[in-house]
C-alpha cells in the first residue's frame, strides 16, 4: 500500500511548524564559557589538548579550542598547566593574548601525549558529560510535541495509500510515544509506514559528538545514521554562541534488520582505539528505531525482548563499561517492530502487553490497489487505464487466487517500463504487457481458495 515520493517538502513543512511553535526543546545547547560550565575536569580536557598538538605540532589557542568545539576559556586552564609542566611552549603571537598565542608541543609533551595515546586514541571534539546529556534529553522529552492530529498524520503519510482506520490507529500510537508492533503479510508497506512516521518528528535534536562516562569516552554521533543540519548563523566574534560538542541533526531514524545481534545493543569497546561506540538504541534517542523483519535477527526474539523489557517501561537503559561500571542512559526513541510473522508465534503475552499499539497492515482493497497502481503510473509517466488493470485482476489474479499486495503495482510496472525501454517503444499500459510482467513476477502456486475484498 505504498507509493514512494520525495518527502523533503513534508519535512520542511513540519520544520516550519516547529519553528512557529517556538519549541525550546529544539534549541541547541549554549556554549560553556568556563571549564567548570563544560562539565569536564582538567584531567579530561588536558589529554585532548596535548594529543591535538601532538598530531599538528603548533596551533593558536583559538585553533585548539575550535578543534575541541569549545571557547578558548574552557581550555585555557589546561594550557596554563601544560606550560608550567614544560610540555607546551608559546611560539609567537604574544601581543594579542591567549587565543592568539601559538602553542608548540615540546619533547616532554610528546612523551606525555604518547602515554595518553596508549590509554585511548580519541582526538577531536571534547565529549559531553553524561549528566549534561541526561539533562538535555529530559528537557527535550518534556517540551517536544508528541501528539499529532488527523490532518497531521495524513499529511505525514500522504505518500502511502492507507485506510482511515489504519491512519487513525497510527496517529493514536504515535501520541503514546512508546512502541508499536506493525504486522501483516509481506509486501503491504510495513517498512514504508515505519519510515514515513519519521515525517511526524518535527524539528531538530542536538546529538553529542561523544559522551564522557566515568573517565571513558563513547563515540555517539554517527554520520551514517544522523543527518546533520547547519546551526543558525552566529554573530562574528571570538565567543561561540552554540556548544559545538553537540551536532545539530534532524531527529534520527535508525532501521536495522536481520543483521541485528545483542552486541549492537551494548556499548562496544574497541581495544585498538581505547574508546566505545554507542549502541543503536542510544543513537536513536529523540527519534525512531525500526526493527525490520522482526523475528529474523541473529538473536532470538525472546533474547532481544528480554534485553529491552525493562527499558521499554522505565524509559531508562543500563549499559556497562569494560571496568564493570554500570551507568544509566535515557531510552527515548519510538521503537517500531515490523514483522511478517504472527506476533503470538514470536513473543509471549507479557511482552505484547508492553508494546501498547499493534497495527495490522492488511492487503489493500481493490479500490486501494487501483489507486496505488495509478500513483505508480504517474510516477513512471505511464498512462493509467483503470479498465486494463481491472481486466488483469479479473483474468489473471482472481483465477490464480493471488492475494493483493501493496507492492504489486510498483513491481509489475517496473517490469513494464523495463520492457518498453528494451523495445524502444512509447509509454503505454496494455493487457499483454501486464500479462508478460505477471508471468515473469509470480510463481503459479497460490491457494485457489483465496478470497477478495
Q: Do residues 143 and 179 both lie within one domain?
A: yes
Is 310 within a domain?
A: yes
- Of the pLDDT bands very low, low, confident and very high (cuts 50, 70, 90), residue 147 is low
Q: Give the per-residue pLDDT at 63.
A: 95
Q: Give the per-residue pLDDT at 153.
A: 87
Lowest mean pLDDT, pick from 104-108, 185-189, 200-204, 370-374: 200-204
Q: How many helices (H) and strands (E) does the chain have?
A: 19, 17
Task: Tell me the C-alpha distance between 80 and 375, whole Å.
Answer: 66
Q: Do residues 280 and 398 both lie within one domain?
A: no
Asked if the model's pLDDT at residue 169 lies above 70, the reply is yes
Q: Which of these three, 360, 383, 414, is where a domain ends?
A: 360
Q: Which of these three, 315, 337, 360, is where a domain ends?
A: 360
Residue 206 forms beta bridges with which residues? 248
Q: Do residues 164 and 221 both lie within one domain?
A: yes
Asked if the model's pLDDT at residue 24 lies above 60, the reply is no
Is 264 within a domain?
A: yes
Residue carrying C-alpha cell 523533503: 8
Q: Give the per-residue pLDDT at 179.
A: 83
Is 453 within a domain?
A: no
Q: Do residues 183 and 243 both lie within one domain?
A: yes
Task: Tell me the C-alpha distance between 383 and 368, whole Å.
Answer: 18
| pLDDT top residue among 415 and 233 | 415
Asked if the model's pLDDT at residue 79 lies above 80, the reply is yes
Count structural domains, the chain. 3
Q: Do residues 304 and 385 both lie within one domain?
A: no
pTM recorded for the entire structure? 0.83
Task: Tell me the C-alpha distance between 155 and 162, whole Å.
Answer: 12
- Of the pLDDT bands very low, low, confident and very high (cuts 50, 70, 90), residue 18 is very low
Q: Do residues 120 and 135 both lie within one domain?
A: no
Is 34 within a domain?
A: no
CATH of the domain at 87: 1.10.10.10
Q: Do residues 206 and 342 both lie within one domain?
A: yes
Count of CB atoms situated within 10 Å of the CB of 123 = 18
Q: Do residues 252 and 108 both lie within one domain?
A: no
SS3 10: helix
Asked if the model's pLDDT at residue 198 lies above 60, the reply is yes
CATH of the domain at 279: 3.40.50.300
pLDDT per position as a tens digit, 395-437: 999 999 999 999 999 999 999 999 999 999 999 999 999 999 9
pLDDT per position as a tens digit, 338-359: 988 887 777 777 777 777 788 8
Is 1 within a domain?
A: no
Is 208 within a domain?
A: yes
Task: Tell me the C-alpha distance between 369 and 363, whole Å.
Answer: 9
Domain membership of residue 107 as a residue range? 41-124
Asked if the model's pLDDT at residue 290 lies above 60, the reply is yes
Q: Do residues 247 and 265 both lie within one domain?
A: yes
Residue carrying C-alpha cell 527515548: 332
Q: How far is CA 254 from CA 47, 171, 251, 303, in A?
A: 33, 20, 10, 20
- Of the pLDDT bands very low, low, confident and very high (cuts 50, 70, 90), residue 298 is confident
Q: Give the per-residue pLDDT at 347.
A: 75
Q: Do residues 16 and 79 both lie within one domain?
A: no
Is 32 within a domain?
A: no
- Of the pLDDT bands very low, low, confident and very high (cuts 50, 70, 90), residue 447 is low
Lowest mean pLDDT, pick from 104-113, 159-168, 340-349, 385-394: 340-349
Q: Do residues 226 and 344 both lie within one domain?
A: yes
Q: Which of these three, 124, 141, 161, is where a domain ends?
A: 124
Q: Give the per-residue pLDDT at 237.
A: 52
Q: Do residues 166 and 262 both lie within one domain?
A: yes
In the chain, the largest separation of any two C-alpha atoms, in whole Å, equals: 89
SS3 204: strand
Is 33 within a domain?
A: no
SS3 231: coil
Asked if the model's pLDDT at residue 84 lies above 50, the reply is yes
Helices (H), 327-385: 343-346, 349-354, 366-379
Amino acid at each position: 500500500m505504498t507509493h514512494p515520493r520525495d518527502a523533503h517538502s513534508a519535512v520542511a513543512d513540519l520544520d516550519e511548524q516547529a519553528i512557529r511553535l517556538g519549541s525550546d526543546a529544539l534549541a541547541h545547547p549554549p556554549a560553556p564559557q568556563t571549564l567548570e560550565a563544560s562539565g569536564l575536569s582538567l584531567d579530561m580536557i588536558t589529554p585532548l589538548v596535548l594529543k591535538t598538538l601532538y598530531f599538528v605540532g603548533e596551533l593558536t589557542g583559538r585553533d585548539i579550542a575550535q578543534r575541541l568545539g569549545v571557547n578558548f576559556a574552557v581550555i585555557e586552564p589546561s594550557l596554563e598547566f601544560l606550560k608550567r609542566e614544560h610540555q607546551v611552549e608559546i611560539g609567537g603571537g604574544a601581543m594579542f593574548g591567549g587565543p592568539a598565542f601559538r602553542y608548540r608541543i615540546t619533547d616532554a609533551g610528546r612523551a606525555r601525549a604518547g602515554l595518553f595515546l596508549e590509554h585511548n586514541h580519541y582526538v577531536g571534539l571534547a565529549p559531553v558529560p553524561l549528566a549534561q546529556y541526561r539533562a538535555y534529553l529530559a528537557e527535550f522529552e518534556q517540551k517536544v510535541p508528541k501528539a499529532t492530529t488527523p490532518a497531521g498524520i495524513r499529511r505525514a503519510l500522504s505518500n502511502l495509500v492507507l485506510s482511515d482506520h489504519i491512519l487513525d490507529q497510527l496517529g493514536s500510537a504515535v501520541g503514546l510515544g512508546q512502541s508499536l508492533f506493525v504486522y501483516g503479510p509481506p509486501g503491504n508497506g510495513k517498512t514504508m509506514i515505519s519510515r514515513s512516521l519519521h515525517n511526524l518528528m518535527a524539528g531538530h535534536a542536538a546529538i553529542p559528538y561523544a559522551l564522557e562516562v566515568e573517565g571513558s569516552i563513547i563515540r555517539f554521533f554517527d554520520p551514517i545514521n544522523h543527518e546533520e543540519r547547519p546551526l543558525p548563523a552566529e554573530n562574528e566574534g571570538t565567543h561561540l554562541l552554540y556548544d559545538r560538542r553537540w551536532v545539530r541533526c534532524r531527529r534520527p531514524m535508525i532501521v536495522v534488520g536481520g543483521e541485528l545481534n545483542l552486541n549492537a545493543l551494548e556499548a562496544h569497546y574497541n581495544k585498538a582505539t581505547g574508546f566505545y561506540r554507542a549502541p543503536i538504541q542510544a543513537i536513536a534517542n529523540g527519534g525512531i528505531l525500526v526493527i525490520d523483519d522482526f523475528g529474523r535477527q541473529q538473536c532470538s526474539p525472546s533474547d532481544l525482548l528480554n534485553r529491552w523489557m525493562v527499558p521499554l517501561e522505565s524509559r531508562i537503559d543500563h549499559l556497562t563499561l569494560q571496568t564493570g561500571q554500570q551507568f544509566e542512559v535515557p531510552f527515548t526513541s519510538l521503537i517500531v517492530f515490523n514483522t511478517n510473522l504472527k506476533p503470538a508465534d514470536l513473543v509471549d503475552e507479557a511482552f505484547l502487553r508492553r508494546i501498547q499499539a499493534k497495527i495490522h497492515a492488511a492487503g489493500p482493497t481493490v479500490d486501494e490497489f487501483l489507486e496505488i497502481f495509478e500513483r505508480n503510473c504517474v510516477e513512471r509517466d505511464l498512462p493509467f487505464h483503470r479498465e486494463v488493470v481491472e481486466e488483469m485482476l479479473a483474468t489473471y489474479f482472481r483465477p490464480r487466487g493471488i492475494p493483493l499486495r501493496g507492492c504489486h503495482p510498483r513491481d509489475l510496472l517496473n517490469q513494464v517500463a523495463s520492457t518498453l525501454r528494451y523495445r524502444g517503444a512509447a509509454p503505454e499500459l496494455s493487457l499483454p504487457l501486464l500479462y508478460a510482467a505477471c508471468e515473469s513476477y509470480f510463481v503459479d502456486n497460490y491457494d485457489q481458495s483465496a478470497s477478495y475484498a
